[in-house]
Amino acid sequence: MATGDTIVSGSIPSLYDKYLGPLIFESYAQDLADRVSDLRSGRVLETAAGTGIVTRALIGTLPAAVSVVATDLNQPMLDHAAKQLPSGRVTWEQADAQALPFPDGAFDAVVCQFGVMFFPDKPKAYQEARRVLKPGGCLVFNVWDRIEDNEFADIVSETVKDMFPDDPPLFLARAPYGYHDKETITAALRSAGFTDVMAETLTRRSVAQSCEDPAIGFCQGTPLRGEIEARNASRLAEATAASAARIRARFGGGPVDGKIQACVITAR
Looking at residue 253, what is its pLDDT?
83
Looking at residue 87, what is its pLDDT?
84
CATH number of 146's domain:
3.40.50.150
256-267 sheet: strands from edge to edge: 90-94, 66-72, 42-47, 107-113, 133-144, 256-267, 197-208
Count of structural domains within the chain: 1
One DSSP character per residue, 53-102 reads HHHHHHHHHS-TTEEEEEEES-HHHHHHHHHH---TTEEEEE--TTS--S
Looking at residue 3, what is its pLDDT?
47
Looking at residue 120, what is its pLDDT?
96
- For the chain, which ranges sit under pLDDT 70? 1-9
Tens digits of residue pLDDT in 88-103: 999 999 999 999 999 9
What is the C-alpha to C-alpha distance for residues 171 and 169, in angstroms, rounded to an integer? 6
Tens digits of residue pLDDT in 230-244: 999 999 999 999 999
Domain residues for the domain of 28 are: 3-267
